[in-house]
Amino acid sequence: MANVLELVLKLSLALFMVGNLLDMGLKLQLQDAVRGLRDVRFVVLSVLWGFVLLPGLAYAIAKFIPMAHPYAMGLVLLGMTPCAPFLPPMAERAKGDMGYTAAFMLLASVVTVAYMPFAVPVLVKGLSASAWTIARPLVLFLLVPFAIGLSIERRSASLASRMEPFVKKITGIDTILMLVLCAVIYGRKFLALGGSHAIGAQIIFFSIATVAPYLFSFGLPRSQRTILSLGMATRNLGAAFAPLFAVHEVDQRAIVMVALGVLMQAAFSFSAATFYGRSDSENMRAAHAASGHAR
């Protein structure tokens, strides 16, 4: 029975990745993304935080906080995969720049697929897999559906707009199924995390990943720093799971550690988005009040 549930979980995860990336492609306005991708400072800071500093942070936390190696492995994989597919609603809540949201999602998706096959063997000790073994599920379940969605949107925006709600609904149902399966299969192992330092390690990682890009992305306006912060606070869990499910006999504690990231990224990204949104509203009210007094 357990093997059947794990197989269903893997199929659910595959649908989660395909559905979310297809949905992203169907609604991505390429012209908006291109505007952000032409901003060299934004692109450089996105790549620096997403694929150098935060993977390094995850690796350092895994080294210095005593926890079992599989938990450390899961944390490093989380550190290497910025940008969850639900970034747009968080960006809207935070009143961030939606054009730069599109740019960040496109950039993060492409770089993740190119980056992980070479970075995983270096940073994730004990995960013996070739570059192609790691790249294959990322290309198949991330890049291909994203490219298909983008192609449909470019060829027929009306078809894309009709397909997107259906794809989003199916993916939403599958996400609930995936979370239920995680709870059923790994529920007891989640409880075992209490004395493992794994929860504390993730809290440290997500705290820094959320706050530091906002505070130290010098030269970017607030609306872009908000996107960078939320993009780093959210994690592409499908990409983090992919190397674990691509090889045989992985310690399930690594999978549990990545699954814990579902709760962590939801809590940190929602809290940050709410704070940024309220702060923006207060600034606008203060500006209106100041202009009123000036008149």
Helix (H, G, I), strand (E, B) or coil at 82: strand
SS3 assignment for 26-76: HHCCHHHHHHHHCCHHHHHHHHHHHHHHHHHHHHHHHHHCCCCHHHHHHHH
Domain spans of the chain, in order of start: 2-294
Helix (H, G, I), strand (E, B) or coil at 164: helix
137-147 pLDDT, tens per residue? Answer: 888 888 888 88
166-192 pLDDT, tens per residue? Answer: 998 998 898 888 888 877 887 777 777
Q: Checking phi first, is residue 4 left (phi over 0); if not, alpha (psi -120 to 50) or beta?
A: alpha
CA distance 102 to 106: 6
Please identify, in words, the CATH class of the domain defined by 2-294.
mainly alpha
Give alpha helix (H) positions in 124-221. 131-138, 144-155, 157-192, 198-215
Q: What is the mean pLDDT of each run of 10 residues along the chain (295 residues)?
A: 77 84 81 86 96 96 91 94 87 90 89 90 78 82 86 89 90 85 78 80 96 94 94 91 80 87 91 90 55 53
Whole-number pLDDT of residue 80: 95
